[in-house]
Amino acid sequence: MKFAAGVATLIAAGSAFAANTGSNSPTFSKDVAPILFNRCIECHRAGEAAPMSFRDYKEVRPWAKAIKQAVATRTMPPWHADPAQTHFANSRRLSDAEVATVVKWADAGAPEGNPKDMPKMPAFVDGWVIGKPDLIFDTGKDFTIKAEGVMPYQYFKVDPGFKEDTWIQAAEVRPAQRSQVHHILVFVQESNKPAMRNGEQFSNMLIGYAPGVPTITWGKDTAFLMKAGSTLLFQVHYTANGKEAIDRSVLGLKIRQDKPGFRAFSGSATQFRLAIPPNDPNYESKATHVFKEDVTLLDLTPHMHLRGKAFKYVLTYPDGKTETLLNVPAYDFNWQLSYILSEPRKVPAGSKIEATAWYDNSANNKYNPDPTQMVKWGDQTFQEMMIGFFNYKVPADRPEPAPAQPPQRTGAE
Question: How far is residue 191 from each of residues 162, 235, 363, measured CA to CA in Å?
Answer: 12, 18, 48
Fold adopted by 131-257: Jelly Rolls (2.60.120)
Kindly write down the DSSP assignment for every residue of 63-82, as one continuous string. Answer: GHHHHHHHHHTT-SS---S-
**CA–CA separation, 323 and 186 (whole Å):** 31
Q: List per-residue pLDDT tens for the chain, 413 residues long.
A: 444 444 444 444 444 444 434 458 899 999 999 999 988 888 888 777 678 889 999 999 999 999 999 999 998 988 899 998 888 998 888 999 999 999 999 999 999 999 999 999 887 777 788 989 999 999 999 999 999 999 999 999 999 999 999 999 999 999 988 888 988 999 999 876 655 544 445 568 899 888 777 789 999 999 999 999 999 999 999 998 899 999 999 999 999 999 999 999 999 999 999 999 999 999 999 999 999 999 999 999 999 999 999 999 999 999 999 999 999 999 998 888 999 999 999 999 999 999 999 999 999 999 999 999 999 999 888 999 999 999 999 999 988 765 555 545 544 44
Q: Where along the chain do the CATH 2.60.120.230 domains lie?
A: 261-413
Residue 301: per-residue pLDDT? 93
Residue 279: per-residue pLDDT? 98
Residue 122: per-residue pLDDT? 84
Asked if 67 and 75 count as a contact pair (C-beta separation under 8 A), the reply is no
Fold adopted by 261-413: Jelly Rolls (2.60.120)
Asked if 319 and 271 count as a contact pair (C-beta separation under 8 A), the reply is no
Residue 40: per-residue pLDDT? 87
Kindly write down the DSSP assignment for every residue of 171-214, as one continuous string. Answer: EEEE-S-GGGEEEEEEEEE-TTS-S-STT---TTEEEEE-TTPP
Residue 250: per-residue pLDDT? 95
Count the Cβ atoms, other than its own, within 10 Å of residue 124: 16
Burial of 227-255, coded b for 16+ CB within 10 Å and e otherwise, reads: eebbbbbbbbbbbeeeeebebebbbbbbe
Count the Cβ atoms, other than its own, within 10 Å of residue 402: 8
**CA–CA separation, 270 and 377 (whole Å):** 11
Residue 124: per-residue pLDDT? 75
Widest Cα–Cα separation across the chain: 72
